[in-house]
Each structure stands twice: as C-alpha cells, then as structure tokens.
Chain A
Amino acid sequence: MDLSYTAEEADFRARLREWLRKTLPSLPPKPSPDDWPARRAYDLGWQRTLYDAGYADVHWDASPTMRLIFLEETEKAGAPYVGANFVGLLHAGPTIAAEGTDGQRARWLPPILRGDEVWCQGFSEPDAGSDLAALRTRAWRDGDDYVVNGSKIWTSHAEVADWCELLVRTDPDAPKHRGITWLALPMDAPGITVRPLRTLAGSAEFAEVFLDEVRVPVANRVGDENDGWRVTMVTLSFERGTAFVGEVVACRRVLRELAAEARKNGRWDDPALRRWLGRLNAEFRALWRLTQWNVSAAETGGGVPGVAGSVFKLRYSHARQELYDAAADVLGPEALDLDRPWVPDRLSSLSYTIAAGTSQIQRNIVAERILGLPKGR
C-alpha cells in the first residue's frame, strides 16, 4: 500500500500547478448562471485553453492517477468546472471513442477536445427514469435516415448543445434491453423543441426535449442497431469512476470554511456541532481515500472503473447533503437567505441522491453485482 506518487506523477502535478497559477488570473469573469449562451462560450473557452496547453484529453488518455491529479489540482486552484463540456468529455466522447467507426471518431472527437462543440444527453424520459431501458422514444428506418418521435427529460445544456447522444427504441418487440439504438442527434434538425425545466433551486439547469418526426442519418448511429444498451453501459461505468474527485476536494474545503464561520459566529462553542463537523471530516477524508483506492484498482485492472463506483456514489451523495445540512446549522436563521453562500448549494445537493442512479438503484447494484444477491423485482 503506497500513497506516494511516482516522479512522473509528481512532475505532472508540479507542471499543472504552475500552469494553473499562470493561466487562471487571465480568464474572463464567470458568466451569470442564467445566461446560457455566455455559459457555453465560457465553458468552451476553458476547454480550448486546456487544449492549447495539452491537457484536453486528460479524461481519455491519461492514466487514472494522472486524471485524479488533474481533477484535484484544478479544483484546488479554483479552475472552471467541466460545465457544458461534461457530456462530450465524459459521456458521448468516451462512447464514440470506444464504439464508433474511424470516420465517426474523426468527425466528433476533435471538436469536443478543441472546445468547438457541446453535447447533451437524451437518455431519461418521463416514463423511463430509474428503469432507463423502458424508454419509448421511437425511431423508424426510412431510407438513409431514422425518423424519431418522442420526448426526453433532464437534458442539461439542451438549449446550447450542438449534438445530443440519443437513445431510441428501434425494435419494440425485442426484450427491452435489446431494442435500443444509440444515435448522434444534430440539435439543429427540424422538429426539435427544447423547453427549460425550472428546478427547486430556481435555476433552469435542465430541459425537456420534444422530438417530432426528426430525421437522423443512419450514418449517425454508433454501434449496431438494437445494440445501444451495451454501447451506453460503456459510458455509464465511465461516469461512476473519477467523476466526483473534484467535488470531494471542494467538500473538504467547504467543511473547513464551515468550521471557520462557526468559530466566528459562536456556534463552535456547541460540542454537538463540533462533533458533527468532526464526523463529516472523517467521512470526507475516507471518501478521498476510497477514491484513491478505486483509482489504484482501476490502474492495475486496466483502467475501467467498476461497480465499486456505486459504493462511492452511495456514500458521497448522502455525505454531501449532510454537509449542507450542517452548513444550515452553522448559519442559523441566515440559512433561509438565498444570498448567503451554501444556501443555494444546499438546495442543489438534494439532486445528488437521485441523479445518475438513485441511492435505491445504487443499493440494488451493490447487492446484486458485488454481493451476488438474487435479482428481484
């Protein structure tokens, strides 16, 4: 068991840190969260900056440890988040890299890396959430096109995306996992309507996407027809690997800020609060160690994060919610003021036990795929 880094890894960290120190001060100011075109431009600009410095493909080509270092250092330096590049870099891109043809890789991957194009995700539907494979958006073959009808939901960045990784049902008579196909949908195709969804936090982070007789070239299909479920699973296992590294680093910083605030406003004198924050310190330290453990396992196991990510996601999502509940305890009456730091974060933390597989689904995954308990209904 070794927590030290190799000379190569330490060198990568040092060079990255130095580059961040020099680069971040010259970035433009962060755009308003409600201004989608400005957010798109800002996020793409950051990706372009990474590309020019040779860090664009760290999510794809670097070793899991290098990726960990990259996510840790960028978070610590206060660099921009992956933002609008998320689906391209962490979902659609890796899927195309793994399952696409040479032509598809050449068409779609370079614009993602260069920060030219934004992707969004069309997986969930109003009647296909946890049971994603029950999706009903239909696609029929018509010559060289598929004709798509249906609707998608929880699609982040739909308003400003160039492409959508879309799951459609191509064979309604096959068992539900066997009749799904993965398509790259150009978001400027006729027949697409995007309707923003306002979340409980008040922001329009997601959208519904309605598809009415939308034509998608057959050439935009990644993988075989009706093989889309397997193609998609490549992406989902990717998401549960190092996706939360930066967030754990951020949570540990927030925890220290909470303690400092409590010392300032007198809440620190309450031993019950101190002990609660102490327990959260233990939890986030352990989650950081679990991340390092999983990354090391991925390193020796060939780089594909496994279901161990489910254990992490389960604990992390609850810990994050508890962190902001503790923040509310520190703030007292000010916890009801939306202009206070941590209050909007407390609201957005409520999605963590639901998004990317609910806690209940994660427990099913852990119990069935790791512990080998029988599949139930």
Chain B
Amino acid sequence: MNTDPLLKINRVTKSYKTRGKVFDALDEISLDIKEGEFISLIGPSGCGKSTLLNMVAGLEDCSTGQIVLDGMKIEGPGVDRGMVFQSHALYPWLTVFDNIMFALDCVMKDASKSEKEALANRYLDVVKLTAAKDKKPGEISGGMKQRVGIARAFAINPKVLLLDEPFGALDALTRGELQDELERIWEEDRRTVIMVTHDVDEAILLSDRIVVMGHGPKAKVLDCIEVDIPRPRQKAELMDDPRFTALRKKLVGMLSDESIA
C-alpha cells in the first residue's frame, strides 16, 4: 500500500461572515488520511465536524488552507467522493433502484445500461434491499432509506466515502443493526471512509482512527486516537472488550470536558 496519505487536509480554516461579524468555525485543521483507513470525526455539536466533511465533499470552500485528494486539490464536489447524507437524501419520486441508477447515470456516462443495472443490483444486494428495489422512498423505513443511501455512495466507486452522521436519525435498534452492517460491508473492500458522528460507540466500532474535535468557535483537533481492536468487530461482542471500555471512557471524558468548556 502507498504510504503517502490519500487525503491531506492541510491547515484548513473556515470563517463565516454574518451581519458583518466574522465567525471562525474551524482553526487550522490538519489531518492525513491513508488509503483504506476508516476515520471518524467526533466532537461536541457545533464544533464544525460536518462543515469539515462538507469541505472535503467540496460543497463548502475552505477559507484558508487546502484539501488534497490523491494529489489533486479539491475545488468543488466530485465523483471521486461519495457522500452519505444524514437525511438519506433520496429522491422521493424515484424508486430505490432508480435512485441508484440516477447516481450511476451521472457518474458512468460511457457505461451501457445493462452494466449500470448490474452494478445497481449488486449494491442493492450488498445492503439487502433487492426485495424493495421497486419501492419509493416514502414506502420504506428510515433504516432502509439509509441503506439505499449507502448503496448509492458505494455504487459510484469513489476514492473516499463521506458519511455525515449516517445513522443519526435512526432509532437505536436500527442504528445498531446498520452499524454492524456497515462494518461488514466495509470489511469487504476496505474503502477509505470519513464519518462524522456524535456516537462514541459507533466511532469505536467502525474506525481505525478517531479524530476528536474541540468545541467551536475556532475548533481544533484535540486528539487522534487509534482504535487497536482487531476486526472484524461486532457490536455485541465489543461491549465486553476491556479495550472498548477503556477507549469509550477516554472519549466520553474528553467530550464531556469539551461540552462544559
């Protein structure tokens, strides 16, 4: 594997101007992410972790600094990054299958229809939604919608997957189920992932490294914590693992200090 980082976030800041006042959301964030690494961004709400993810996605500009993906400076949204949105962001007028086809139609302009259909079917199978492929998003559960979102992001075969609190809007049971599922899917091809979350357990279960951000304004990276628990991991088994308990305690401690501060 290449030792150069696949994604380089280099002294990135973000400031907003609201009513003439400048608000500094992020302060010189730097982060290197290797190929095949699963990174979680965790931090108190309002710390700008979603902003940072949107900047990697190219949906927001960096005020200063730069983000480089595979040697190319990020200047806007691109198909080399696949985004899973918190609000699933499926088109309600399209079926599950067509939602994935829409993404493939945008990305694989030269591929044949049957090629794209085969891909869509494959990823629907990966997220176990083959039976629901002809349903509209309004007819399936929140967990199923998010599975479609994940399938859509995986199907376009991006260099980096960006997950913005992907399970934040789900009930606890569904969330746990999908976390295990994401772990399973990820094990299959070890894609590079950046996930924003506020769920400590989720971060530990899925990540190689957890990036803890401090509170804003001028949010900084407080710490990068390696998760040295061997994979594949299962949520149920993890709960009794002393390494998990220790990590969890450390992270919760850091985060509650930050929320108070």
**Does A pair with B?**
no
Which residues of chain A have a CB within 8 Å of any CB of chain B? none
Residues of chain B at the chain A interface (Cβ within 8 Å): none
